[in-house]
């Protein structure tokens, strides 16, 4: 089991690094979308390439970060029934869903997506829109994204089995980290609290004879 947990940690580090790297695509997509809208409204000019790059970046965010999202336990869950069960029962449901749904789906889509990419690359497929982009980078995102998702599914499966055996803490618990803005706000509040204590101490000292 220790070897499997080492594999799980390796997969987690991979998706963590990919996730933190490609999170910046969200900002890039927003900037391109805003620039495209401004140019279209102000200069009455538009380009299919600008529109398609937005689609490409959105696809990259959705596909490349799917494994990272699973690692962070941020995928949408319907817990109307499972939320009422014990933690062990919820873990067994996760194991069942991973083995019979997540992994087969991710592996199948990665398998089917690869020949589509190969064909697009071999044919130098280009968008049918005027001024459109080449297609194969977008096709490549599909197998890569689902491979990353399948790997993370394997990692989550290993962690849940280890949890049931009492080897690790509950892997489904979310560990919320404070953002830089929240940490700054805490520091400001702490500084104000220290200042208020100091002022009160000075006031009490002045009142003494």
Question: Which two structure tokens, joined as six digits, stand for 11?
Answer: 């997969």
Residue 171 has pLDDT above 80, yes or no: yes
Residue 96 reports pLDDT greater than 80: yes
pLDDT classification of 61: cutoffs 50, 70, 90: very high
pLDDT above 60 (res 27): yes
Residue 128 and residue 2: Cα distance in Å, rounded? 51
Note the helical H segments in the chain.
Answer: 2-22, 24-43, 48-64, 66-71, 87-97, 103-122, 136-164, 180-207
Query: Is the model more confident about 48 or about 103?
Result: 103
* 201 or 37, higher pLDDT: 37
**Side-chain half-sphere CA neighbours of 160 within 13 A:** 23
pLDDT of residue 8: 92
Residue 107 confidence (pLDDT):
96
Query: What crossing angle do the helices spanning 103-122 and 136-164 adopt, rounded to 10°?
Result: 160
The pLDDT of residue 39? 85
Instruction: Supply the angle between the helices 24-43 and 2-22 in degrees, to the nearest 10.
Output: 20
pLDDT at residue 190 tops 80: no
pLDDT value of residue 46: 77
Structure token pair of residue 91: 């873990």
Q: How many CB atoms lie within 10 A of CB 152?
A: 26
Residue 176 banded pLDDT, cuts 50, 70, 90: low
Give me the pLDDT at residue 209, please. Answer: 55
CA distances from 105 to 8, 131, 162 (A): 20, 35, 24
Q: Is the dihedral of CA 153, 157, 162, 168 positive or negative?
A: positive
Q: Looking at the predicted structure, is the pLDDT value of residue 132 above 90?
A: no
Report the alpha-carbon distance of residue 168 to residue 6 in Å, rounded: 12
The predicted model scores a pTM of: 0.78
* pLDDT for the residue 2: 85
pLDDT tens digits, one per residue of 82-92:
777 788 888 89
**Mean pLDDT (the chain, rounded):** 84
Burial of 53-92, coded b for 16+ CB within 10 Å and e otherwise, reads bbebbebbbebbbbbbbbbbeeeeeeeeeeeeeeeeebbe
Q: Evaluate if residue 111 carries a pLDDT over 70.
A: yes
């Amino acid at each position: 089991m220790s070897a499997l947990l080492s594999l799980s940690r390796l997969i987690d580090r991979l998706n963590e690094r990919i996730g933190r790297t490609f999170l910046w695509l969200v900002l890039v997509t927003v900037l391109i979308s805003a620039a495209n809208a401004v140019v279209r409204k102000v200069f009455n000019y538009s380009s299919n390439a600008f529109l398609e790059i937005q689609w490409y970046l959105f696809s990259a965010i959705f596909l490349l970060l799917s494994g990272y999202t699973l690692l962070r336990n941020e995928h949408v869950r319907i817990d109307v029934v499972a939320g009422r069960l014990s933690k062990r029962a919820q873990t067994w449901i996760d194991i069942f869903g991973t083995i019979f749904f997540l992994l087969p789906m991710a592996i199948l889509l990665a398998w089917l997506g690869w020949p589509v990419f190969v064909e697009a690359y071999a044919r130098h497929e280009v968008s049918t829109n005027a001024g459109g982009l080449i297609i194969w980078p977008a096709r490549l995102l599909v197998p890569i994204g689902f491979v990353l998702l399948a790997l993370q599914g394997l990692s989550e499966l290993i962690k849940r089995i280890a949890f049931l055996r009492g080897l690790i803490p509950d892997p489904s618990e979310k560990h919320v980290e404070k953002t830089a803005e929240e940490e700054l706000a805490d520091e400001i509040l702490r500084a104000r609290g220290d200042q208020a204590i100091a002022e009160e101490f000075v006031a009490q000292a002045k009142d003494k004879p």
